[in-house]
Amino acid sequence: MSQVTSIDVARLAGVSQATVSRALRDIRGTSEATRARVRAAARELGYVPQQSGRSLATRLTNRIGIVTGELANPFYPALVAPMVERLHEHGYLAVLIPDEDLDDLDPVQLIDGSLDGVLLTTIHQDSRLPAELSRRGVPRVLVNRDVSLGDEDASVADNVAGARQVARLLLAAGHRRIAFLGGPPTVRTNVQRAEAFRAALERHGIGVSARLWSYGPFDLDHGRLAFARFMAQDAPPTAVFCANDVLALGALEAARAARLAVPRDVTVVGFDDIPMAALSMIDLTTVGCDLDAMARSAADLLIDRIADPGRPARRLVHPTRLVLRGTHGPPPGNPDI
């Protein structure tokens, strides 16, 4: 229980406590001889410097917060895993801050000095969190989700380009009745994908009916429900573009439940290319945006920001590409392409 402290080590090594602190950090101003003696004493006592003492003195914690949605939603592990790994490579430990994604997160845990910085993956368009963190001087990076005001470090996908690619794909395949199965209307990532998609369709003279347009949570259930609602209409869509892969998974579930064959009866396209999408049992056609790179570069951005709090904000927009797999095809009864 009674932890070994640097004082105990000092006593055993016959030096002062300050010297122990210096020697163990290989700091200039300690002779090799004492360093060896101190190290030996530390090893003998099984001494490990206590983080709380160190943090209080240095104001550094080597901890970085990741504000994340439910890890049960497979999108988040896909994003969080590479971040954790990258942070670890840089000597940081990740602290998970669960966010229910509804109203604004209580920022106390982010500003109590227990974190050197924060990665934000659940920001809504109207969130006051970035401003609050800014006031407090907490280094932060927005990941995947963006905000409209542009002076925040961010690592996001090129949502507009991705949505356009999907529009082109579907139109080229001959689809005309196309649905959009979207995420929350307050999430900028979703809005960007939605608006770019709508604009691309309208540019080709395809009107979008409100009945083929759904906003809701980024989860399986909304995917299932909205898809079922689409397909139950008099003129069901021949293709459904889902604002992310989790929604698409829900759509595929619902299709199977309704005995609809994909892509023969209906085309389903996702966005993100989460690892699951590549499983041959799922084989989802989607927009790839290299989540790994997005996550890693977000971590790098934050580490950079911590080192240089004054530098101008940087926003990394990662390119997207169509990942053509097995859930897209021509509309039923229109077997061209």
Partner DNA sequence: GTGAAAGCGCTAACAT
Partner DNA sequence: ATGTTAGCGCTTTCAC
Nearest residue (CB) to a copy of itself, 77 versus 174: 77
| CA dist., res. 1 & res. 22, Å (int) | 25
| CA dist., res. 118 & res. 96, Å (int) | 10
Q: Minimal CA–CA distance to 240: which of 218, 257, 223?
A: 223
Nearest residue (CB) to DNA, 57 versus 281: 57
Nearest residue (CB) to DNA, 31 versus 209: 31
| CA dist., res. 4 & res. 45, Å (int) | 7
Contact between 307 and a copy of itself by CB under 8 A: the answer reads: no
* Nearest-approach distance from CB 46 to DNA, in angstroms: 12
Q: Tokens for 164?
A: 């356009």
Residue 25 touches which member of DNA, a copy of itself, none, C-beta under 5-8 Å by kind: DNA
Kindly write down the DSSP assignment for every residue of 103-157, as one continuous string: SPPPTHHHHSS--SEEEES---TT-SHHHHHHHHT--EEEES---SSS-S-EEEE
Nearest residue (CB) to DNA, 10 versus 294: 10
Q: Minimal CA–CA distance to 227: which of 258, 196, 206, 200?
A: 258
220: left (phi over 0), alpha (psi -120 to 50) or beta: alpha
- Name the site residues for DNA (rule: CB under 7 A): 3, 5-7, 14-19, 21-25, 28-31, 33-35, 47, 49-50, 52-54, 56-59
Nearest residue (CB) to DNA, 46 versus 205: 46
Residue 29 touches which member of DNA, a copy of itself, none, C-beta under 5-8 Å by kind: DNA
Residue 252 touches which member of a copy of itself, DNA, none, C-beta under 5-8 Å by kind: a copy of itself
| CA dist., res. 80 & res. 144, Å (int) | 11
Q: Is the dihedral of CA 192, 97, 134, 107 positive or negative?
A: positive
Per-residue contact string for residues 120-149; x = within reach of a copy of itself by CB under 8 A: ---------------xxx------------
Neighbour-count burial of 72, counting CB atoms closer than 10 A to its CB (0-12 exposed, 13-18 middle, 19+ buried): exposed
Contact between 112 and a copy of itself by CB under 8 A: the answer reads: yes
Please select the residue that binds a copy of itself; options are 221, 253, 290, 300, rule is CB under 8 A: 253
Residue 28 touches which member of DNA, a copy of itself, none, C-beta under 5-8 Å by kind: DNA
Residues near 43 by beta carbon (within 8 Å), at least 6 away in sequence: none
* Nearest-approach distance from CB 98 to a copy of itself, in angstroms: 5
Nearest residue (CB) to DNA, 22 versus 325: 22
Sheet holding 267-272, edge to edge: 213-214, 178-181, 239-242, 267-272, 285-288, 321-323
Nearest residue (CB) to DNA, 59 versus 259: 59
Residue 148 touches which member of DNA, a copy of itself, none, C-beta under 5-8 Å by kind: none
Give the footprint of a copy of itself on residues 33-92 (CB under 8 A).
46, 48-53, 55-56, 59, 61, 63, 70-72, 74, 76-78, 80-82, 84-85, 88
Kindly write down the DSSP assignment for every residue of 47-99, as one continuous string: ----HHHHHHHHS--SEEEEEE--TTSTHHHHHHHHHHHHHHHTTPEEEEEE-
Q: Interface with a copy of itself by CB under 8 A: which residues? A: 1, 3, 46, 48-53, 55-56, 59, 61, 63, 70-72, 74, 76-78, 80-82, 84-85, 88, 93-98, 108-109, 111-114, 135-137, 249, 252-253, 256-257, 275-276, 279-282
